[in-house]
Chains A and B, each alone.
Chain A
Amino acid sequence: MNCAEFRHWLDDGRPGLHDGATAHAQRCPACAAALEADRTIERLLSQGPSAAPAGFTGRVMARVVARAAPARVPVMPAPALPWWARAARDPAAVLALAVAALLAGRWSALWAASSTAGQGAAQWVARAISAGLSAAGVAVSLPSPIRADALLGLEIGAACLALLAAPWLYRTTLRHAARAALGR
């Protein structure tokens, strides 16, 4: 081993017991001094830097405790309300109750009103489609009056749309309630 190889061995952290290195250090005073310096530095490095200053733990814990409470508060506390009150806050439940009450109490009036309104809407849609097709050069003759089963179909479609919209409305209401509770 020569001086360059010896220094390389020191730079690598003196891996393993190397007979060549020991022999080289015995006959080269400069490399022997470098080995001694290396051992001293390693000993000092293993002693580590200064300890944390006095009161360090107390200062950390004061900050931890100050942060602890808000971090552990649930975002939405469980409501301590009876089931009927919680159900009453649900817009879908309110909507369903209103529709059920209307159906039970005013069935005939509701049917007459929906038939008239539904017929008017269906005729308006049919005229719009017919106008579009005429513009495209397709002649269409409109049935008059609109058939009852077509009306029923339109009404069922509208009810499905309302049912689909109810959960979305419910989630949106909850989100706004949560934001209001957090004061954002």
Chain B
Amino acid sequence: MASSGSQAESAANEGLWVERARAGDTEAFRELVERHRDRAYGLALRVLRSPADAEEVAQDAFLRAWRALPRFRGDAAFGTWLYRIVARRAFDRAATLRGRRARETSLEEARDRAERVKVHPDPNAGGEKRRLEELLERLPEAQRAAVTLYYYEDRSVDDVAKILGLPPNTVKTHLSRARAALRTAWSREEER
């Protein structure tokens, strides 16, 4: 009960920050950035797998949110609205990067990509977490985004669907396939 009370208080506070930011208060917006930066960056990183690209996308999303705040009607929570912007921009960037990689097939590019995969996992993370990040690398972007929002963000399937702009049944399919692929790969590595 105490937890739900503090959650309600936090949501009410966030509503005040949003109202102030809508009126042009940059300090209020700074508070919103502080609250959501890790999750926004984390979602972008899960989709893009590159810290530099993830930061750029997360920054762009915050900037876009700032510019669009006067039109934010508050139908959804600020976080849901923001993650929708992050997800859309991350998918757009991923598509651009895919196209670029398809064109650039030099050895240098292949080496860069390998470096990026090696560099990405958090060096402070434990072995299990690093292993999971490497397995996530093999999933399609939409599946990575779906599991991130569902597990890390603790969002419902409907919320994930709204954020990703997909039908709920498609999200369920993404989650189901991601679980199966991760579990199979995890078990296979355990057996080695």
Contacts and interface: CB of A to CB of B under 8 A. Distances in A.
Contacts of B147: 45
If over half of B's interface residues share one DSSP class (helix, strand or loop), that class is named, otherwise mixed; here it is helix
Interface residues of A, number: 34
A56 interface: yes
B94 interface: no
Interface stretch (A46-54, A91-99, A119-127, A146-154): A46-54
Interface in A41-76: 41-42, 44-53, 56-57, 59-61, 63-65, 67-68, 71-72
B84 interface: no
Contact of A13 (B37, B175, B182): B175
A161 to B, nearest CB: 42
Interface in B34-92: 34, 37-43, 45-46, 51, 55, 58-59, 62-63, 66-67
A52 B41 contact: yes
A71 B67 contact: yes
A41 B179 contact: yes
A75 to B, nearest CB: 14
B60 to A, nearest CB: 9
Given A33-B190, A44-B128, A48-B42, A64 B63 contact: yes
B158 to A, nearest CB: 14
Given A37-B183, A52-B41, A52-B55, A57 B34 contact: yes
Give the 5 A-B CB pairs with smallest separation, nearest first: A45-B151, A48-B152, A52-B41, A49-B42, A52-B37
